[in-house]
């Protein structure tokens, strides 16, 4: 009678968050790989808090793989780890990544190798970025491994998919907006003056969505949700009611402040230019 297969629970509350830098680096590494290689692998660095694995940096590790063997350049891996930790000492190895979607058997070996590294308690994460563009999108998936053993003998390693999302921080969102609108042929010049129209457009979109929802509810097309209704009512009540004269006053004061600063700035600039002319003209040639 076979003993029951032991499936150790592997902290199934683990979630993975990936920073976009990591994904772009992986794409870049894939493009730069050697001719004979089909895929690239590398190490992921990041932090782990409370079951949330945050992947923030990565670096490529050269490797060779054939049908049944895989060789990873360990020296390179260790050197890069040291170098990265000099810059960001609080980041640790959280796993590794690779760029094809098929889990070949060498993955298990590599996973074991990374499991031996000092990683977090939940074991190394395996991130797969599908660069073959098979499904019309670039897929990003994260896996954790757990061993399947029969009694005492280890049978196989199973990769379990984890919920993974790409974290877009506030500052990165600015960068990503620029990247999205970039045209890869010509590149997009960095424009400083954009911003206000986009923000207003977004605000208008949100207002339109809210208005559509309210109209739908009133016409009976959508179910009314009291929480949303209360929220909308609160927000509308928060808008300050200004008498026209008050608004005029505020507006004038604001404009005056801005004009004053602008005047000062121009004054200083002309002062500097003037001083330069006078200064250099007055210097006696020694």
Partner 1 sequence: MATAAEVLKQTAPAAAESAAVVVRQVQLDGQVVLKIMQHCDGALPNIVTGQLLGLDVGALLEVTDCFPFPGGDDDTLDEQAGANYQIEMMRCLREVNVDNNTVGWYQSSSFGSYQTTEMIETFVSYHESIRKCVCLVYDPQRSARGQLALKAVRLKDAFITHFKEQKLTGKDLREAGISWRDVFVEVPVRIHNSSLAQALVADLDPAPRITAPDLERLDLGGAAYLTKTISGLIEGADDVLAEAQKISVYHRNLARQQQHMAQWLAKRRQENAARRAAGEEALPEEDPAAFKPIPEPPMLEQYLVVNQLAAGCERATAACQAGMSKLYVMQALQKGGAQA
Residues 133-192 that bind partner 1 (CB under 8 A): 133, 137-138, 166, 168, 170-180, 182, 184, 186-190, 192
Q: Which stretch binds partner 1 (CB under 8 A): 154-162, 197-205, 218-226, 227-235?
A: 197-205
Q: How far apart are CA 20 and CA 175, in angstroms?
A: 10
Structure tokens belonging to residue 16 = 């993975």
CB 99 within 8 A of CB 40: yes
Residue 74, interface with partner 1 (CB under 8 A)?
A: no
Residue 275, interface with partner 1 (CB under 8 A)?
A: yes
- Crossing angle, helix 226-238 and helix 196-218, to 10 degrees? 130
Shortest distance in whole angstroms from residue 285 CB to partner 1: 6
Among 10, 33, 117, 149, binds partner 1 (CB under 8 A): 33
Strand partners, 158: 146
CB 95 within 8 A of CB 119: yes
Residue 274, interface with partner 1 (CB under 8 A)?
A: no
- For the chain, the residue count is 286
Shortest distance in whole angstroms from residue 269 CB to partner 1: 5
Q: Which stretch binds partner 1 (CB under 8 A): 31-39, 104-112, 215-223, 227-235?
A: 31-39
Footprint of partner 1 on 244-263 (CB under 8 A): 244, 247, 251, 254-255, 257-259, 261-262
Q: How far apart are CA 280 and CA 286, in angstroms?
A: 13
Q: How many C-beta atoms lie closer than 10 Å to residue 236's C-beta?
A: 9
User: Mask: binding to partner 1, 222-241, rule CB under 8 A, as x and -?
Assistant: --------------------
With a CB cutoff of 8 Å and minimum separation 6, the contacts of 15 are 51, 52, 53, 162, 163, 164, 165
Q: How far apart are CA 227 and CA 233, in angstroms?
A: 10
Footprint of partner 1 on 87-116 (CB under 8 A): 87-88
Among 14, 23, 125, 162, binds partner 1 (CB under 8 A): 23
Residue 12, interface with partner 1 (CB under 8 A)?
A: no
Q: Which stretch binds partner 1 (CB under 8 A): 21-29, 46-54, 116-124, 225-233?
A: 21-29
């Amino acid at each position: 009678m076979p003993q029951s297969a032991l499936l150790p629970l592997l902290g199934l509350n683990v979630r993975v968050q990936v920073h976009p830098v990591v994904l772009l680096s992986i794409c870049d590494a894939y493009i730069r790989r050697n001719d004979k290689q089909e895929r690239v692998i590398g190490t992921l660095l990041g932090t782990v808090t409370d079951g949330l694995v945050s992947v923030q940096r990565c670096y490529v590790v050269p490797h060779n793989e054939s049908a049944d063997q895989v060789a990873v350049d360990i020296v390179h891996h260790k050197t890069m780890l040291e170098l990265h930790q000099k810059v960001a000492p609080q980041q640790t190895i959280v796993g590794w990544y690779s760029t094809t979607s098929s889990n070949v058997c060498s993955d298990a070996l590599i996973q074991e190798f990374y499991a031996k590294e000092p990683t977090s308690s939940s074991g190394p994460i395996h991130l797969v970025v599908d660069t073959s563009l098979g499904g019309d999108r670039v897929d990003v998936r994260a896996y954790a491994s757990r061993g399947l053993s029969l009694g005492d003998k280890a049978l196989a390693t199973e990769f379990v998919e984890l919920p993974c999302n790409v974290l877009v921080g506030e500052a990165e969102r600015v960068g990503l907006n620029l990247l999205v609108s970039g045209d890869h042929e010509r590149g997009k010049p960095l424009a400083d003056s954009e911003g206000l129209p986009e923000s207003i457009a977004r605000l208008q979109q949100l207002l339109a969505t809210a208005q559509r929802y309210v109209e739908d509810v009133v016409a009976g097309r959508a179910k009314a949700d009291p929480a949303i209704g209360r929220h909308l009512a609160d927000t509308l009540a928060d808008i300050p009611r200004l008498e026209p004269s008050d608004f005029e006053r505020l507006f004038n004061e604001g404009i005056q402040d801005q004009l004053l600063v602008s005047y000062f700035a121009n004054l200083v600039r002309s002062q500097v230019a003037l001083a330069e002319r006078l200064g250099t003209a007055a210097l006696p040639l020694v």
